[in-house]
């Protein structure tokens, strides 16, 4: 039995090098963690966060092989010696993709698995399963099949599975990477309750620091395998410039505050940032008639979306035209999408937002011709998708899929980039040029000779994007292009999307990443239940709190901070990106604030 | 995104067959399968097939069974064609009914073909009715009760999960590659697509192993079971009865219908031609549908 405050995890100069890796994943990491702490771990792709977390119950190095050094002690035992299964009663582990963990026919059997393995008496199982499910908000789900659960529910089920054996430590490696905002919030609510009410020690990693900023009691940041910051969230996350140096995305609120010129440590949550900024600029204290302001915004929004979609863009031809399209998967009871009408002009980037299962991915697969509408018409670059084979459409519409491994098939990255143009009959000399240019733009120079499937998921996604761009399509469909991406990778994707639009491409981006959509999308199509519930300029969508709540979304921190400072403000309101937020908030406030010059370094590299 | 379920997947229900515990079901299934193997005559096989369908209708799983047999039936029927085409089909004194070109259709070949096809369908139907009315976890509990090692039972579980998973994965890979404008038709597409499918499968299995061990799988502690506590007296009686039925059925099947040769099937010439052509046609149709589904271009 551990008491609150006892050291439960002790790492001393821990190093680890994966088999065949050229540099260590962990490099002399020393941390000690006490019972009852809630530790958020941040780090860019490859910084060693996963390796660190998996070292705690022996998965590294027992199942993931490599060369280990230093000393690890968890609850007084050595995870390198004690077999992985023997930790199940003390440490619960949750990985990023909940769907792989499920092997059983029902939720109850799934949760029972851990108890059965540890030889728990059958008579006690029912109650323990019910308790675990209740603590993650899945009471009554016992007889459901895991296959019928949403992503957020599946991940909460995974937490219940980890919890049921009564561990005092919960380790979660990017548990919300594949979830929509509603699913994310539900998972973090559960973690917070477990930590605060039941005293469970929580270690959780995330590429997005928002939830960690508000819930964690401590933040550990890793850079290239080393601890680069360790302390309370307010101090670690309060220095966005330092985090950005290590490729860690600060919270949106911190970035806004830094860009406006608040001194370090900057406020890290939306609420704190809004408080500080409102103090700095008294003119922007929320007006009392906040409700009237909201009504005005709705009216503005209604008039904006009443415009025909074609008129929304500045005159370019419509490269994607979707007219009253419905689609039903074979054997499915309901329609996956219905009554969908939208268009994307040349040079336009249109985001598609909505909860998991709202039809975003289906819409993308209809536009690239993989699915043919059950009714209605889709034309892409002037070609009707129903009457042209997908292979012919591929020269016109390039798609990056949610799972990039599916579309990679060459044995080296360089070959992968050359494959598409070669199929189109482009000359070898031109192909060479394109590959070189793409490798530079996507920062893939160092991995050109590697097998694409040996790269991490976010890097695979870049290779897939490069392979598609190499074919110079006029339409791009990029499904969740920033999933799991750190600041650097997300920045590359952003630059490529904007560059493609500048060349006259029409870009459709189904994504949960509202900060990304705020930066790249001119318009956002909000989907719910397979229908378009809104199609409006990005700003109008971010301003419509009710619409977003109904669709299970929330605007990015830049807009949330600004809206919290003032429900309405000088046009354009609310700001859709960090730079815009910094500009309008600075302009609006007394620009002689004591914060000094705006933290432009953070503003450039941060989200 | 909703995808069609695997034909082997458990179909939830509350019929007596669903509620019956897995151990007697397994024993009765084994008895049925052995009987089908020893009985050569088509009549008892037809009875078993009918019984399997009766059970399926009773348990409300006729739909999944029908979907599976729609594919399996024509494949099994191809045996009729093979039997007819086989040159060694006749041990002298065969009754020719008709001929398709130079190939004669004999009553003996038709009889054997019909019996083989029935046997296959009867066995598959029995096994499917059992599979779709039994929770995988119960089935593994039953396998464990029969002293099948836990690892073997688990491999069975994950394999059954893995087949539809690999199918789905292959479909996604082929889609993604077609969307890149790469030639994705026929076997030429399936072979390179296998690489990402297997890489994904290996990654998945690796992560599954991590997740399972982290949940105590392989702890060395004797496993307990959440579901199989329900093996009561009735189940035990049914299990013993099933074993006895299996023994009696085997002996009866072997003595009554298991000796001699398969009876010939004497039908009018036109019917013989229709059976053979129909079987060949159904087989080709299923293969064509299957292949186009694999590589739709």
Inter-CA distances, A418 with A415, A431, B40, Å: 5, 6, 60
Interface of B with A in 118-157 (CB under 8 A): 135-137, 157
Q: Give phi and psi for B36, each to the nearest 5.
A: -60, -35
Indicate whether A538 and A569 sit together in one domain. no
Q: What's residue B6's pLDDT?
A: 56
Residue B33 CB neighbour total at 10 angstroms: 16
Q: Is A141's Cβ below 8 Å from some Cβ in B?
A: no
Beta strands per DSSP E along A160-247: 169-173, 201-205, 218-223, 226-231
Q: What's residue A303's pLDDT?
A: 45
B229: three-class secondary structure by DSSP: helix
Indicate whether A222 and A247 sit together in one domain. no
A162-183 residue pLDDT tens:
999 999 999 999 998 877 888 8
Q: In what order do the strands lie in the sheet with A66-74?
A: A26-34, A7-18, A66-74
A81-108 residue pLDDT tens:
999 999 999 999 998 877 666 667 789 9
> B295: which 2 tokens?
């590589």
Q: What's residue B238's pLDDT?
A: 84
Q: Is B291's Cβ below 8 Å from some Cβ in A?
A: no
Q: Is B223's Cβ below 8 Å from some Cβ in A?
A: yes
Indicate whether A372 and A481 sit together in one domain. yes
> A199: which 2 tokens?
């005293």
Q: What's residue A494's pLDDT?
A: 94
**Rounded distance, CA B227 to CA A112, Å?**
9
A602 with A241: CB under 8 angstroms? yes
Indicate whether A196 and A326 sit together in one domain. no
* Mean pLDDT rounded to a whole number for chain A: 85
User: Is residue A148 predicted with pLDDT exceeding 60?
Assistant: yes
Q: Is A368's Cβ below 8 Å from some Cβ in B?
A: yes
Q: Give phi and psi for B193, each to the nearest 5.
A: -65, -25
Q: Looking at A180, A211, A236, which one is the last position of a domain?
A: A236
A21-74 residue pLDDT tens:
888 999 999 999 999 999 999 999 889 999 999 999 999 999 888 999 999 999
Indicate whether A57 and A17 sit together in one domain. yes
Indicate whether A487 and A503 sit together in one domain. yes
Determine the structural domain holding residue A466 and report its residue range: 317-556
Indicate whether A597 and A529 sit together in one domain. no
Of B176, B208, B225, the CB nearest to A401: B176
Q: What's residue A432's pLDDT?
A: 93
Distance of CA A357 to the CA centre of its chain: 16
A605 — pLDDT class (breaks 50, 70, 90)? very low
Mutate to test the interface with B, among A97, A406, A426 (most CBs of B within 10 A): A406
Q: What's residue B2's pLDDT?
A: 33
Selection from A444, A403, A602 nearest residue B199 by Cα: A403
Identify whether A296 is part of a domain: no
Indicate whether A272 and A330 sit together in one domain. no
Q: Which residues of A touch B178 (CB under 8 A)?
A: 370, 390-391, 394
Identify whether A254 is part of a domain: yes
Indicate whether A274 and A352 sit together in one domain. no
Q: Which residues of A touch B182 (CB under 8 A)?
A: 391, 394, 409, 419-420, 423
Q: Which residues of B touch A97 (CB under 8 A)?
A: 207
A223: three-class secondary structure by DSSP: strand
Identify whether A2 is part of a domain: no
Q: Give phi and psi for A580, each to the nearest 5.
A: -65, -40
User: Is residue A601 predicted with pLDDT exceeding 50?
Assistant: no
Q: What's residue B163's pLDDT?
A: 65
Closest residue in B to A454 (Cα–Cα): B199
User: What CATH number should be reported for the domain holding residue A199?
Assistant: 3.40.50.300
**Rounded distance, CA A274 to CA A557, Å?**
10
Q: Is B287's Cβ below 8 Å from some Cβ in A?
A: no
Residue A43 pairs in a beta bridge with A222
Verify whether the Cβ–Cβ distance B210 to A394 is below 8 Å: no
**Rounded distance, CA B159 to CA B10, Å?**
14
Indicate whether A550 and A562 sit together in one domain. no
**% of chain A beyond a pLDDT of 70:** 89
A432 with A425: CB under 8 angstroms? no
**Rounded distance, CA A301 to CA B43, Å?**
74
Interface of A with B in 38-77 (CB under 8 A): 54, 57, 59, 63-64
Identify whether A289 is part of a domain: no
Verify whether the Cβ–Cβ distance B210 to A95 is below 8 Å: yes
Of B192, B211, B216, the CB nearest to A95: B211
A274-298 residue pLDDT tens:
898 888 765 544 433 333 344 444 3
Radius of gyration of chain A measured on its C-alpha atoms: 25
Indicate whether A354 and A492 sit together in one domain. yes
To the nearest whole angstrom, how far is the Cα of B281 from the nearest Cα of chain A?
Answer: 25
Indicate whether A549 and A572 sit together in one domain. no
Residue A314 CB neighbour total at 10 angstroms: 10
Q: Which residues of A touch B12 (CB under 8 A)?
A: 143, 145
> A337: which 2 tokens?
């999408």
Number of domains in chain A: 3
Strand duo A523-528 + A531-537: pairing: antiparallel
A242 with A250: CB under 8 angstroms? no
pLDDT mean over A350-368: 90
A115-143 residue pLDDT tens:
998 999 999 999 999 999 998 889 999 98
Q: Which residues of A touch B292 (CB under 8 A)?
A: none
Interface of B with A in 30-69 (CB under 8 A): none
Q: Is A405's Cβ below 8 Å from some Cβ in B?
A: yes
A370-381 residue pLDDT tens:
999 999 999 999
Residue A179 CB neighbour total at 10 angstroms: 24
Q: Please name the helix (run of DSSP H) or strand (run of DSSP E) that holds residue B133, with its range, or none.
A: none
B141 with B228: CB under 8 angstroms? yes
Selection from B6, B7, B20, B5 nearest residue B55 by Cα: B20
Beta strands per DSSP E along B101-240: 103-106
User: Is residue A308 predicted with pLDDT exceeding 50?
Assistant: no
User: Is residue A390 predicted with pLDDT exceeding 90?
Assistant: no
pLDDT tens over chain B, length 297 residues: 333 445 666 777 778 888 888 888 888 898 999 888 888 888 888 999 999 999 999 888 888 888 878 878 888 888 888 887 776 556 666 777 888 877 888 888 888 888 888 889 999 999 889 888 887 667 776 777 777 776 677 677 666 666 666 777 777 888 887 888 776 555 555 666 777 777 777 777 778 888 888 998 888 888 787 876 455 777 788 888 888 888 888 888 888 877 667 777 878 888 888 888 888 888 888 778 777 665 554
Selection from A232, A199, A227 nearest residue A214 by Cα: A232
> A413: which 2 tokens?
């990255």
What distance, in Å, lies between the first and last C-alpha atoms of chain B?
A: 21
């Amino acid at each position: 039995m551990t008491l609150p405050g006892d050291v439960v995890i002790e790492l001393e100069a821990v190093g680890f090098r994966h088999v065949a890796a050229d540099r260590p994943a962990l490099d002399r990491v020393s941390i000690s963690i006490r019972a009852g702490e809630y530790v958020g771990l941040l780090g860019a792709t490859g910084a060693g966060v996963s390796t660190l977390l998996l070292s705690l119950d022996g998965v590294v190095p027992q199942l993931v092989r490599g060369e280990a050094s230093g000393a690890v002690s968890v609850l007084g035992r050595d995870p390198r010696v004690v077999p992985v299964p023997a930790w199940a009663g003390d440490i619960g582990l949750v990985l990023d993709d909940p769907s792989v963990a499920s092997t059983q026919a029902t939720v109850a059997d799934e949760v029972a698995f851990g108890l059965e393995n540890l030889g728990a008496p059958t008579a006690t199982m029912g109650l323990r399963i019910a308790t675990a499910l209740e603590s993650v908000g899945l009471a009554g789900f016992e007889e459901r099949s895991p296959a019928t659960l949403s992503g957020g529910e599946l991940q909460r089920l995974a937490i219940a599975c980890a919890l049921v054996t009564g561990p005092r430590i919960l380790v979660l490696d990017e548990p919300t990477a594949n979830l929509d905002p509603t699913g994310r919030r539900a998972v973090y609510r559960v973690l917070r309750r477990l930590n605060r009410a039941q005293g469970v020690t929580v270690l959780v990693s995330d590429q997005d620091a928002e939830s960690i900023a508000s819930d964690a009691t401590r933040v550990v940041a890793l850079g290239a395998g080393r601890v680069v910051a360790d302390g309370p969230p307010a101090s670690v996350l309060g220095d966005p410039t330092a985090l950005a140096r290590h490729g860690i995305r600060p919270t949106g609120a911190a970035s806004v505050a830094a860009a406006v010129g608040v001194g370090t440590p900057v406020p890290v949550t939306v609420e704190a940032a809004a408080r500080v900024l409102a103090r700095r600029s008294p003119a922007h204290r929320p007006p009392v008639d906040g409700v009237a302001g909201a009504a005005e915004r709705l009216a503005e929004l209604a008039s904006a979306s009443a415009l025909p979609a074609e008129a929304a863009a500045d005159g370019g031809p419509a490269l994607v035209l979707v007219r009253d399209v419905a689609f039903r998967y074979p054997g499915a009871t309901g329609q996956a999408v219905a009554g969908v009408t939208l268009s994307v002009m040349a040079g336009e980037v249109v985001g598609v937002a909505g909860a998991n299962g709202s039809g975003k991915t289906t819409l993308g697969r209809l536009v690239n011709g993989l699915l043919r509408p059950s009714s209605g018409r889709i034309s892409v670059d002037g070609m009707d998708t129903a009457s042209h084979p997908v292979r012919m459409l591929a020269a016109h519409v390039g798609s990056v899929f949610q799972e990039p491994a599916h579309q990679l098939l060459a044995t080296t990255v360089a070959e992968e980039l050359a494959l598409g143009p070669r199929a189109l009959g482009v000359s070898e000399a031109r192909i060479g040029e394109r590959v070189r240019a793409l490798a530079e733009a996507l920062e893939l120079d160092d991995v050109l000779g590697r097998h694409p499937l040996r790269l991490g998921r976010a890097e695979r996604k870049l290779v897939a994007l490069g392979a598609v761009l190499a074919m110079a399509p006029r339409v791009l469909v990029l499904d969740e292009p920033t999933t799991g991406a750190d600041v650097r990778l997300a920045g590359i994707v952003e630059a490529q999307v904007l560059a493609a639009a500048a060349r006259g491409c029409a870009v459709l981006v189904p994504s949960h990443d509202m900060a990304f959509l705020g930066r790249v999308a001119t318009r956002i199509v909000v989907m719910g239940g397979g229908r378009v519930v809104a199609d409006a300029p990005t700003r109008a969508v971010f301003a419509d709190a009710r619409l977003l709540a109904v669709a299970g979304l929330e605007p990015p921190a830049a807009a949330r901070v600004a809206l919290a400072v003032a429900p309405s403000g000088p046009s354009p309101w609310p700001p859709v990106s960090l730079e815009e937020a910094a500009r309008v908030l600075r302009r609006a406030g007394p620009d002689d604030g004591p914060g000094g010059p705006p933290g432009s370094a953070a503003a450039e590299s941060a989200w | 995104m909703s995808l069609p379920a695997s034909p082997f997947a458990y179909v939830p229900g509350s019929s007596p067959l669903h509620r019956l515990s897995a151990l007697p079901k397994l024993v009765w299934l084994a008895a049925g399968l052995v009987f089908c193997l020893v009985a050569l005559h088509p009549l008892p096989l037809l009875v078993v097939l009918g019984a399997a369908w009766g059970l399926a209708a009773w348990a409300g799983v006729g739909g999944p069974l029908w979907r599976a047999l729609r594919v399996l039936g024509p494949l099994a029927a191809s045996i009729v064609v093979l039997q007819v085409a086989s040159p060694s089909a006749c041990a002298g004194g065969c009754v020719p009914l008709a001929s398709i070109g130079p190939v004669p259709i004999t009553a003996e070949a038709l009889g054997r073909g019909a019996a083989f096809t029935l046997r296959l369908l009867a066995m598959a139907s029995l096994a499917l009715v059992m599979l779709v009315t039994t929770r995988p976890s119960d089935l593994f509990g039953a396998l464990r009760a029969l002293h099948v090692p836990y690892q073997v039972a688990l491999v069975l579980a994950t394999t059954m999960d893995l087949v539809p998973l690999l199918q789905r994965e292959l479909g996604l890979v082929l889609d993604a590659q077609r969307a890149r404008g790469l030639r994705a038709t026929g076997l030429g597409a399936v072979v390179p697509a296998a690489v990402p499918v297997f890489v994904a499968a290996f990654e998945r299995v690796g992560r599954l192993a991590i997740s399972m061990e982290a949940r105590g799988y392989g702890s060395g502690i004797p496993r307990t079971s959440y579901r199989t506590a329900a093996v009561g007296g009735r189940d035990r009686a049914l299990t013993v009865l099933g074993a006895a039925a299996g023994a009696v059925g085997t002996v009866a099947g072997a003595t009554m219908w298991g000796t001699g040769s398969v009876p010939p099937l004497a039908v009018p010439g036109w019917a013989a031609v229709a059976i053979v052509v129909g079987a060949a046609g159904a087989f080709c149709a299923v293969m064509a549908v299957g292949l186009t589904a694999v590589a739709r271009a």
